[in-house]
Structure formats: structure tokens, C-alpha cells
Amino acid sequence: MSIDIREEAGVRTLHFGSDWIQGAMRIARPWALELAYTRDMMLALLFAEQEALVFPERVLQIGLGSASLAKFIHRYCPQTIQTIVEIDPAVRAVARQFFKLPEESRQLKVLIDDGALFIQKSASLFDVMFIDGFDTNAKAGALETCPFYQCCRARLAPGGILAINVVGGQRRMQHCARQLNLAFDQHTLSLPACDSGNRILFAFSTAVPKLQFSQLRTKAAALKKRSGLDLLPTVTRMEQQP
């Protein structure tokens, strides 16, 4: 796979042999979430049913990219243990060299493995799972199928949350939503697509939390105070969708 690194206006971007951006980092703030869809995925941090903002103990991420999610969690959720699964060792090397992927530790492990196979053989439970894996043609393959989503559900801890980045046309979005609903018995919700066209789907181990938007806004304000990440616009988009 061809990997290209580009820079413009203080932002470094990752490309897999095309103009499509696979990841981005503002060089002056490498831990910040530069792309809108990565910020949308972080809405998962607000969905826990506790009144206060509580960070997950264990996070799984499939697809490393430019390590945006990994860096944010490593900096602002220091007690969270992250396991990141990336199929291509070259992506891990590039993330370390060009995108400031932190050194591995007890809190952060990057495994070279096929994400779908990892889920099948794993015995661990995770509080939050982020799925963001694509090939050079922006295809997710097995990572957008009902059997894969069923395996994800089996690996979620009680109250666990799955967040999936979906790209492509309306047919792709509908396909992923159908497969996810089958695997999670309709315990799902979705955000409106962001400006880039990415759409984030969420699924829950049991039922969709019965959170009021006022609670989400309170948690979003707490997260902004702690990290600078402002999810209030995301909450508003979610509230205003039909």
C-alpha cells in the first residue's frame, strides 16, 4: 500500500495512495482532533448513563490512521487502557514518525493484526470500541458486516458503546446501518453526516441510554473544560436531526 504524507497550512495529512485524507494532525497541537468525524466519534464519551462525565476503563480501536483518537485519549483520559489494532505495520511506523503516536506502555498498545480476526479471537471486554478501518479504496470489507458487528457486541462490557466511522454513498450508509441494527437488535443511533460526508453510527450493548440533551450538553461542557474539545455543536446537530 502506498502511503503519502502531505503538509499545508500547518496541517499534516495521511493518504493511502490517493487524495482521500485518511488522517490529519495540526502540527502545533498534535493531540487535538483535526477532522470533524473524529470529533463526532468522541460523542461516545458522553453516552455513559452516569450523570457526571466518566471516562472508559478500556478502549479498543480498529484502524490506527494518524493516531488521532489514540493521542487524544492518551492525553486527556490517562487512566484509560487503549488497545489499537492495525493491519499494516507501515501505518504504525508512519504514525510514530510523522504523527507523534505515543510510545507504547501499559496504557497504550498497538497490535499488528486483522481487526475482524482479532475480535473473533479476543477474550477481553471493552467499554468503548472505535471502528475506523479502510483500504486504499475506502472500503471496510469485513468491518461492515453483521457477523463482525455481532462479534463486537460480544466483546462489549455491560453498558459498552461501539462507534463506527462510515464513508461512501447513501447505499453504503444504509447497508452498514442495516447490518448494525441486525447485530444489536436496533440498539443503535446515528449522527447526521459531517461536512466531509463521514457518518458516525453508534451501537449499545443493551439499550440506547435514555439521556436528555441537557445532560449531554452538561457533559460536553465538562469535556470542553478538561480538553478543549467542543462537542456542543455535535450534540446540537444530533438534537436537530429529523
Report residue 68 as a C-alpha cell: 488521532
Q: Which of 132, 135, 185, 195 is catalytic?
A: 132
Contacts of 13 (CB under 8 A, 6+ apart): 5, 6, 7, 21, 22, 23, 24, 25, 66
Q: How many CB atoms lie within 10 A of CB 52?
A: 9
Pairing of the two strands 108-112 and 81-86? parallel
From the list 55, 62, 70, the residue with the least C-alpha distance to 102 is 70
How far is residue 213's CA from residue 118's CA, in Å, rounded to a whole number?
35
Cell 459498552 belongs to residue: 160
Helix, strand, coil shares of the chain, percent, nearest 5, are 35, 25, 40
From the list 108, 54, 104, 53, the residue with the least C-alpha distance to 81 is 108
132 is catalytic: yes
What phi and psi values does residue 118 have, to the nearest 5 degrees? Answer: -60, -45
Instruction: Tell me the three state secondary structure of residue 190.
Output: strand
Cβ-in-10-Å burial (0-12, 13-18, 19+) of 168 comes to: middle
Active site residues: 132
